[in-house]
Amino acid sequence: TSWTGAVDCSGNDLELMAICICPRETVCIRDVKSLICLALARLPAYFDYPLYLMLFLSKAHNLRSALQCTYLSEFLPFYDTHHLHTIAGTIVGFEVFWHSFWHLLRWGLSGDISFLWRHVTGISGCISLILTPLIVWPVLFERLRKGIAFKIRKA
Protein backbone atom coordinates (compact mmCIF):
# COMPACT_ATOMS: atom_id res chain seq x y z
CA THR A 1 0.00 0.00 0.00
CA SER A 2 1.14 3.54 -0.58
CA TRP A 3 1.64 6.02 2.23
CA THR A 4 -1.27 8.41 2.61
CA GLY A 5 0.51 10.79 4.93
CA ALA A 6 -1.49 9.98 8.04
CA VAL A 7 -1.94 7.06 10.40
CA ASP A 8 -5.04 6.10 12.26
CA CYS A 9 -3.95 5.94 15.89
CA SER A 10 -7.21 4.51 17.15
CA GLY A 11 -8.18 0.87 17.27
CA ASN A 12 -8.29 -2.21 19.45
CA ASP A 13 -4.55 -2.83 19.50
CA LEU A 14 -3.72 0.53 21.12
CA GLU A 15 -3.88 0.87 24.88
CA LEU A 16 -4.38 3.90 27.06
CA MET A 17 -1.19 5.99 27.03
CA ALA A 18 -0.01 4.31 23.81
CA ILE A 19 2.46 6.12 21.58
CA CYS A 20 1.52 6.93 18.03
CA ILE A 21 3.72 9.44 16.22
CA CYS A 22 3.73 9.01 12.45
CA PRO A 23 4.87 12.07 10.51
CA ARG A 24 6.24 9.85 7.73
CA GLU A 25 6.00 6.21 6.82
CA THR A 26 9.65 5.52 7.70
CA VAL A 27 9.42 7.38 11.02
CA CYS A 28 6.28 5.81 12.45
CA ILE A 29 6.49 5.21 16.21
CA ARG A 30 3.87 3.03 17.85
CA ASP A 31 5.67 1.79 20.94
CA VAL A 32 8.40 2.67 23.42
CA LYS A 33 10.99 0.44 21.69
CA SER A 34 10.53 2.34 18.44
CA LEU A 35 10.76 5.66 20.27
CA ILE A 36 14.04 4.68 21.97
CA CYS A 37 15.54 3.29 18.76
CA LEU A 38 14.57 6.42 16.83
CA ALA A 39 16.05 8.67 19.51
CA LEU A 40 19.30 6.66 19.51
CA ALA A 41 19.43 6.94 15.71
CA ARG A 42 18.46 10.59 15.36
CA LEU A 43 20.41 12.32 18.14
CA PRO A 44 23.86 11.37 16.80
CA ALA A 45 22.69 12.23 13.27
CA TYR A 46 21.81 15.75 14.42
CA PHE A 47 25.20 15.93 16.15
CA ASP A 48 26.81 15.18 12.77
CA TYR A 49 25.43 18.25 10.96
CA PRO A 50 28.14 20.62 12.28
CA LEU A 51 30.72 17.94 11.45
CA TYR A 52 29.52 17.88 7.82
CA LEU A 53 30.06 21.64 7.72
CA MET A 54 33.57 21.20 9.14
CA LEU A 55 34.34 18.45 6.60
CA PHE A 56 33.30 20.73 3.76
CA LEU A 57 35.01 23.83 5.11
CA SER A 58 38.27 21.99 5.83
CA LYS A 59 38.67 21.10 2.14
CA ALA A 60 37.21 24.24 0.52
CA HIS A 61 40.58 25.92 0.06
CA ASN A 62 39.41 29.12 -1.66
CA LEU A 63 36.77 29.71 0.98
CA ARG A 64 39.31 29.04 3.76
CA SER A 65 41.72 31.52 2.14
CA ALA A 66 39.01 34.17 2.04
CA LEU A 67 38.02 33.50 5.66
CA GLN A 68 41.67 33.68 6.73
CA CYS A 69 41.56 37.40 5.84
CA THR A 70 38.64 38.07 8.21
CA TYR A 71 38.38 38.58 11.94
CA LEU A 72 37.20 34.97 12.26
CA SER A 73 40.80 33.86 11.74
CA GLU A 74 41.60 35.31 15.17
CA PHE A 75 39.50 32.53 16.69
CA LEU A 76 39.57 29.70 14.14
CA PRO A 77 42.74 28.24 12.58
CA PHE A 78 41.77 28.34 8.89
CA TYR A 79 45.39 27.82 7.80
CA ASP A 80 45.55 24.18 8.93
CA THR A 81 42.32 22.16 8.98
CA HIS A 82 43.51 18.71 7.86
CA HIS A 83 43.56 17.41 11.45
CA LEU A 84 40.01 18.73 11.95
CA HIS A 85 38.94 17.00 8.73
CA THR A 86 40.41 13.69 9.91
CA ILE A 87 38.73 13.85 13.32
CA ALA A 88 35.33 14.91 11.94
CA GLY A 89 35.50 12.22 9.23
CA THR A 90 36.32 9.52 11.78
CA ILE A 91 33.39 10.51 13.99
CA VAL A 92 31.00 10.63 11.03
CA GLY A 93 32.30 7.24 9.87
CA PHE A 94 31.47 5.61 13.19
CA GLU A 95 28.14 7.39 13.53
CA VAL A 96 26.95 6.14 10.13
CA PHE A 97 27.11 2.62 11.55
CA TRP A 98 25.48 3.68 14.84
CA HIS A 99 22.68 5.50 13.03
CA SER A 100 22.07 2.63 10.62
CA PHE A 101 22.08 -0.01 13.37
CA TRP A 102 19.28 1.69 15.31
CA HIS A 103 17.15 2.29 12.22
CA LEU A 104 17.58 -1.32 11.09
CA LEU A 105 16.72 -2.58 14.57
CA ARG A 106 13.65 -0.34 14.73
CA TRP A 107 12.43 -1.38 11.30
CA GLY A 108 13.14 -5.04 12.06
CA LEU A 109 11.26 -5.00 15.37
CA SER A 110 8.26 -3.27 13.81
CA GLY A 111 8.17 -5.55 10.76
CA ASP A 112 9.12 -2.78 8.35
CA ILE A 113 12.53 -4.08 7.23
CA SER A 114 11.31 -3.96 3.62
CA PHE A 115 11.93 -0.19 3.75
CA LEU A 116 15.55 -1.08 2.95
CA TRP A 117 14.74 -2.00 -0.63
CA ARG A 118 11.33 -0.44 -1.31
CA HIS A 119 11.68 3.11 0.04
CA VAL A 120 14.09 5.85 -1.00
CA THR A 121 15.06 6.40 2.66
CA GLY A 122 16.22 2.80 3.07
CA ILE A 123 17.93 2.66 -0.32
CA SER A 124 19.88 5.88 0.26
CA GLY A 125 20.77 4.69 3.76
CA CYS A 126 22.15 1.42 2.36
CA ILE A 127 24.18 3.34 -0.21
CA SER A 128 25.66 5.52 2.56
CA LEU A 129 26.37 2.48 4.71
CA ILE A 130 28.22 0.79 1.84
CA LEU A 131 30.16 3.85 0.60
CA THR A 132 31.20 5.41 3.92
CA PRO A 133 33.73 2.67 4.83
CA LEU A 134 35.33 3.06 1.39
CA ILE A 135 36.01 6.69 2.27
CA VAL A 136 36.80 6.43 6.00
CA TRP A 137 38.69 3.15 6.40
CA PRO A 138 41.72 4.07 4.26
CA VAL A 139 42.16 7.12 6.47
CA LEU A 140 41.83 5.11 9.69
CA PHE A 141 43.82 2.02 8.76
CA GLU A 142 47.37 2.53 7.54
CA ARG A 143 47.50 -0.88 5.87
CA LEU A 144 44.56 0.02 3.63
CA ARG A 145 45.97 3.48 2.93
CA LYS A 146 49.30 2.04 1.80
CA GLY A 147 47.65 -0.78 -0.15
CA ILE A 148 45.51 1.56 -2.27
CA ALA A 149 47.25 3.87 -4.73
CA PHE A 150 46.84 7.59 -4.05
CA LYS A 151 45.20 8.18 -7.46
CA ILE A 152 42.54 5.59 -6.69
CA ARG A 153 41.87 6.88 -3.17
CA LYS A 154 41.47 10.45 -4.37
CA ALA A 155 39.44 9.63 -7.49
Can you tell me the mean pLDDT for 1-10?
53
Length of the chain: 155
Can you tell me the mean pLDDT for 145-150?
85
Of 13, 24, 47, 26, give the one whose Cα is nearest residue 106.
26
Would you state the pLDDT for residue 3?
52
pLDDT confidence tier of residue 59, bands split at 50, 70 and 90: confident
DSSP 8-state class, residue 71:
G
Supply the pTM of this predicted model: 0.78
CA of 45: how far to CAs of 29, 57, 93, 94, 114, in Å? 18, 19, 11, 11, 22
